[in-house]
Chains A and B, each alone.
Chain A
Amino acid sequence: MMPPYLLQEMAQLTGEHFVLVLSSMAIAVAAGLPLGILLTRRASLRTPLLGFANIMQTIPSLALFGFLIPIPFIGGIGKRTAIVALVLYALLPILRNTLAGILGVDVAVRESAIAMGLTGRQLLWEVELPLAAPTIIAGVRIATVTTIGTATIAAAIGGGGLGVFIFRGIASVDTTQILAGAIPAALLALLSDGGFSWIERRFSLS
């Protein structure tokens, strides 16, 4: 069974992990949503921006964390670097789903909105965003669940979180330590997945 000191550390690292994921997702949504909306208005930016986000996704996560360390201002050892990496990972699903959600709005609906005299802003807030909401939320959901997993690697560059257990467990060949990191991470992922699927249902029409 788990010794009490482990439980205490588990609570602390789960908290750290949660904060890591929450800050990364907050930044990723704050950047990804407006950028995604911008992409619906400027088709010429789609290829470069989505290409960038795509490339970020293909870099193995451990390598991306490593690449960031020598970069000034955003790099170095610690939480900040970890958050930068996690944001870069989370960006693609949010960008892509925002774009797909808004472009997926029925042409007839958009045309009648314009013909009825909605301004650009009203079109966005009254029609496009509400109709794209389920798709956008699905993107945030995917990004969050992946980020919870990827955030365990943050420990490799001193970012803290549940990865601390996993790396320590691997180094000392201690399954209990690995599980102390993996189980709460998996539970966090399941919980947020469930939460988002509830929100998604509330926003969808049928």
Chain B
Amino acid sequence: MSAFLALIRRDLRLTLRAPGEVLTLILFFVMIGVTVPFAIGPDKVLLARLAPGIVWIAALLSALLALDRLFRPDQEDGSLRALRHADISLEAVALAKLIAYWLTTAVPLMLATPLLAVMMNMDMALLGRSLVSLLVGTPGLAAFGTFGAALTVSLRHGGLIAPVLILPLSIPILIFGASAAAGGALASAGNAALLLLAGLSLAVTALSPFAIALALRLSED
């Protein structure tokens, strides 16, 4: 257990030591929110209606941006090989990586979501629903992202192909996530969507360490 926590702490410390990447991530996330009104017009009612979907799209794209730093540095400096022979199983390593990835991408994005809410003319209720849906759904997204990064770890240009592989798989999470965030007349369907999202996200997060560890094992030998 201590090794597991140490792994998470290591990844957090590595990220905090070079905070530029997380800041870039937040910048990218906010920028999507800034550019969308230019594309669809400054109509406040329309923006508020589209806001939950835009927040989810922005979160999905930003999370893809950070995929390459999940296993690539560890692969390059050889620590991934060391982790394969560590005391804890590779599945636990995968889960630790997944948690660290979620803490360093999804949590900053959720903290930046209120900024997007102001620009999209979301009211407090809608912001609350969006944040809850992000909190519930992003672990599942992070699990798919970690899986994609593990599949492509032995490729030199894996950064481009991993998003193509995991986007189709992430569609259910996007569907339930955006529905759960929608308010107003759709709120009752949104509650059902939130439950489905929670179930899906938990199942994906629980099962993904096995797939990630398998992919890591097979990419090395």
A binds B: no
Q: Which residues of B contact A (CB under 8 A)?
A: none
